[in-house]
Structure 1
Amino acid sequence: MPEAAPPRTDSTPAKAPAKTPARAGTLTRTAGAASAGTGGRSGLVLLTVCLCQLMVTLDASIVNIALPAMGEALGFADGALPWVVNAYALAFGGLLLLGGRIADLAGHRRALLAGLVLFGLASVLGGFARTPAQLVSARAGQGVAAAVLAPISLTLIMVTFAEGPARARAVGIWSMVTAGGSALGVLLGGLLTDLLDWRWVLFVNIPIVLVGVLLAGRSIPAVRPPRTGRLDVLGAVLGTAAMTALVYGLMETDRHPWGSARTVGTLAAAVLLGLAFLAWEARFASAPIVRLGVLRARTAWVASLVVTLIGASMLVGFYFCSLHLQNVLHYGPLAAGAAFLPFCAGTMAGSMIAGRLTARYGSRTVLTGGLLLAGLGMLWFGGLGVDSGYLEAFVGPSVVASVGVGICMVANTSMGTSGVDPREAGLVSGLLNAGRQCGGSIGLAVLSTLAVAATRHASAAGDTPLAALAAGYDRAFVVTAALLGVAALIAVVFVPGRAAAARR
């Protein structure tokens, strides 16, 4: 994504991407223009992108607690209500890479404003929906807008702040917003649904969009997109189709079992489309939408893999915590939302200290520690039962898991964006966002299946319906803890230590 190219702070000269000389030149010229226009407005840039990222992450979770009210008001058919969530996730996950490339061609300011306006319009239409189809379509529109906004937000940080303490602080704040947005979404969704109406979980985006448009107009320089830029149409189609098929196939496993012809066929199509996409990008595309050579950098592919596991763990944790509070402990929307306050506070605390810890102990130590702490919290959640009280059984794991999530999100994002050529900023941010989103979809699909299986097993063993539900949720939490353990092992093995990083 073209924007301001900050001065490099290391002694290693930047290498232009292979096979893309025309694009590299236009990016360099665009970056210089953006740098001149940004000037001292870096604080406003950070505020703008964090506001956009907050809205994107809020809307991934804000509707969860409002789903029963939506279903009752609009008359959703059995099994159709999850599409209020799935439509957003499908459009968002499927179009992330394409959204980043479109921003390359349109320019950051134009793409950011277009994404904000589309998000606002979709929110208005969803808030006034009178049928299930209208609401699901509006949620899909929000997902399309999110696929444009999410890659831009991190890219603007990477190209506005020079690598070093300034960028580390900015990434820390952005990561705090990303990690805390989902927890805040559950809280806000409960408050709005209980105190006002479910429609306000969509209308709440309107003031955010208005403020975002005003800030973007003042802070993001209007840089003319490069005339030589072109869209890799076939690569965009293959990449979008592969991600859409993957996300769709996984989301439908609650209705079509893993071994069914429909699920196997959809996932097989996703694999074939993905292989075709990789082959086209590597061998034939003259201006690839994803330059695969960027993954030769260890930090890029390790960060993408780790954030996929973090994304799976975060979404699964919020989802099953919400279900346990409402279905087992019988909390109402307001109480269930308020129950996530410790998680919000812990995430913010972890994000705030992550930068200082990384500067002192290095990325590998801090990332590993954060992942293990988050895994410990999820394992603690695995002990929730029918008689578990909120204070003694929910607050403790919420604080431990959330502090760990805040730490590892900041450490992983900082590691993944370090040493990145400004011309690759959009690509790396797109990969990190796509990894987190697809990780959440994969994790939710797989662990929902495991939870249902555990619930059925507990029921067959004679447990009460509530106890069987709790057993299924506990299984999901334990497996989530295992995923975070795997991520910690990857960090230990592949993330370079401080001495090795200093020599690079």
Structure 2
Amino acid sequence: MVSDSKRWLALALLCLTGFMIILDASIVLVAVPSIERELTFSTGGVQWVPSGYALMFGGLLLLGGRISDLLGRRRVFMTGLLLFAGSSLLCGFAWSGDALVLARGLQGAAAAVLAPSALSIVMTTFPSGADRNKALGIWGATSGVGGTAGSLIGGPVTDGLGWQWIFFINVPVCLLVVALAPTLLMDSRGPGRRGFDVAGAGTVTAALIVLVYAVIEAPASSALRTALLVILSAVLFAAFVLVEKRSAAPLVPLRIFRSRALVGGNLITIAWGLAAFGLNFVYTQYAQLALGASAVRYGLMSAVLAAAAVGGSIIGQHLVTRVGPRWVASVSLLIAGAGTTLMTQLTVDSGYFELAFWGLTIFGAGLGAGTVAGSIAALSDVPGEDSGVASGLQNASFQIGGAVGVAVVSAVASASTSGTSPLALTHGYRIAFATVWVFIAIGLAGCGLLLTRKRSLRLEPAAS
């Protein structure tokens, strides 16, 4: 039996890892202009520095979750840390654009092994109930902050030390966690069949990679090519479902999708990935290209988003235990929508405190509370044997949502912009900000699947 103090120290270690993984997806956006200047890229090739990470991370997450269930969660977690540290070194020492893109892909693959094993250890360390809800709330808050803190940390690091250091800083963190993991973390495995579903792993990984690739490439591809890629992804997903129905040891047991909480929670998580990364990307472009802000100034301008997310997550965690995740998720999405509406009013002459400060503050507060509610809804009642795959699914929802969100808002901004003047760019960015409301609507649809707290309590005795 693990002592209570040791459990919370273990959670702190795991949340540090989760923060690093999500941060690495967002911090690079600030450094992209510097990277493009120093390394050689083909036209439009620099987008693959953030997208290569997202592609491999999102595509391999379910596989990573299954590997952690089969081979042991602590062992896979520690292996993932070493792989992440090694690939981060390769990124920092990259000698060309192609080398950096390849290293980012390896880093994303390492994250796909690391993230679900970390989250599944959280779930097996804290049994279902109030403590697990609290732990998942802290995990969700950490992820939400990691998704917004990249601009705050990345600006000073890029301008002060060079873009290479946004990768080098991962190495000491990984080594510290590896050193402490054997002492603080429990090891566990899924109790099911030990077979490995090769066909299921291949089809779902291919489906996710094709889908993420389609949305990333959509702005530069023809509508026909994008449609064909989406259709191919749908066919691969259908093949995956057929394989899982017939498999004796499925990669993703289809029974988990009978849970309205899991499906609804993951829809909410997808929505927050779409909205957080999408809005952050547009604001990065607006601040640096339309307003001419430096990376450091942009980081300071966006710091309020991360600060508000921290405050919102603390409040959200307490509210979820009192009123349930459905109410908290719904209200937080509407709060974020109000912040988004303010951002649509930005002009090339807008002062920071005139609109952006309040828009980012309101959006960040909703984001912090909402990611907590989505995480708790998706994972709070998952049994231990499914913790790895459920963790992979929840991580995949946020990460793939982020990749799609950046691709969609980028495409909308490009299609709505005629010219390169600050005035023309701002017009496109305002329309891209409005697109975030579509993402919020997806999250509200997910809220409709969640049971109210009162109904959940009535159903609990019948389920036991």
How much does 1:227 deviate?
Answer: 10
Q: For the residues of structure 2 that align with 1:265 and 1:419, how far apart are their CA atoms?
A: 38
1:160 aligns with 2:125: yes
Q: 1:156 to 1:38 in 2, by over 3 A?
A: farther
How much does 1:181 deviate?
Answer: 0.5
Q: For the residues of structure 1 that align with 2:439 and 2:170, how far apart are their CA atoms?
A: 33
How much does 1:132 deviate?
Answer: 1.2
Aligned to 2:271: 309
Match of 2:28 among 42, 46, 63: 63
Aligned to 1:180: 145
Give the share of equivalent positions with the same residue, in percent: 37
How much does 1:252 deviate?
Answer: 0.8
How much does 1:303 deviate?
Answer: 0.8
Is 1:375–1:485's contact at 8 Å kept on the other side of the alignment? no
Q: 1:226 to 1:485 in 2, by over 3 A?
A: closer
Aligned ranges 1:7-86 → 2 under 5 Å: 36=1, 41-86=6-51
Match of 1:263 among 200, 205, 226: 226
The one-letter amino acid paired with 1:286 is A
* 1:208-258 alpha-carbon deviations (Å, 9 max, x no partner): 11111122121123458879512100100001000011111111112213x
How much does 1:89 deviate?
Answer: 0.6
Q: For the residues of structure 2 that align with 1:224 and 1:160, how far apart are their CA atoms?
A: 12
* 1:317-351 alpha-carbon deviations (Å, 9 max, x no partner): 11011111100110001111121210111000000
* 1:75-123 alpha-carbon deviations (Å, 9 max, x no partner): 2222111111111011101100011111112101110111000000011
Aligned ranges 1:76-475 → 2 under 5 Å: 76-222=41-187, 229-257=194-222, 259-260=223-224, 262-282=225-245, 284-456=246-418, 465-475=421-431
Q: For the residues of structure 2 that align with 1:225 and 1:275, how far apart are their CA atoms?
A: 26
Aligned to 1:499: 454
Q: For the residues of structure 1 that align with 2:262 and 2:190, how far apart are their CA atoms?
A: 26
* 1:448-496 alpha-carbon deviations (Å, 9 max, x no partner): 222212113xx5xxxx8212211111111112023213422541x3221
Q: For the residues of structure 2 that align with 1:89 and 1:63, how far apart are their CA atoms?
A: 12
How much does 1:383 deviate?
Answer: 1.0
Q: 1:273 to 1:137 in 2, by over 3 A?
A: same
The one-letter amino acid paired with 2:435 is V
Poorly superposed stretches of 4+, deviation over 6 Å = 224-227
Q: For the residues of structure 1 that align with 2:435 and 2:139, how far apart are their CA atoms?
A: 28
Secondary structure, counterpart of 1:327 in structure 2:
helix
Is 1:376–1:481's contact at 8 Å kept on the other side of the alignment? no
Unaligned runs of 5+ in 1: 1-35
Is 1:375–1:482's contact at 8 Å kept on the other side of the alignment? no
* 1:160-185 alpha-carbon deviations (Å, 9 max, x no partner): 11223222221121111100012211
Is 1:38–1:160's contact at 8 Å kept on the other side of the alignment? no
* TM-score, normalised relative to structure 2: 0.95
* 1:282-338 alpha-carbon deviations (Å, 9 max, x no partner): 2x1110000111111110111111211111011101101111110011000111112
How much does 1:373 deviate?
Answer: 0.4
Unaligned runs of 5+ in 2: 460-464
C-alpha root-mean-square deviation of aligned residues, in Å?
1.7
Q: For the residues of structure 2 that align with 1:226 and 1:360, how far apart are their CA atoms?
A: 33
Q: 1:96 to 1:220 in 2, by over 3 A?
A: same
* 1:152-210 alpha-carbon deviations (Å, 9 max, x no partner): 22211211112232222211211111000122112111111111111101101111111
Secondary structure, counterpart of 1:146 in structure 2:
helix
Q: For the residues of structure 1 that align with 2:393 and 2:23, how far apart are their CA atoms?
A: 20
Secondary structure, counterpart of 2:416 in structure 1:
helix
Aligned residues: 459
* TM-score, normalised relative to structure 1: 0.88
Is 1:108–1:220's contact at 8 Å kept on the other side of the alignment? no
Is 1:152–1:426's contact at 8 Å kept on the other side of the alignment? yes
Q: For the residues of structure 2 that align with 1:74 and 1:356, how far apart are their CA atoms?
A: 47
The one-letter amino acid paired with 1:234 is A
**Larger helix proportion of the pair:** 2
Aligned to 1:9: none
The one-letter amino acid paired with 2:155 is G
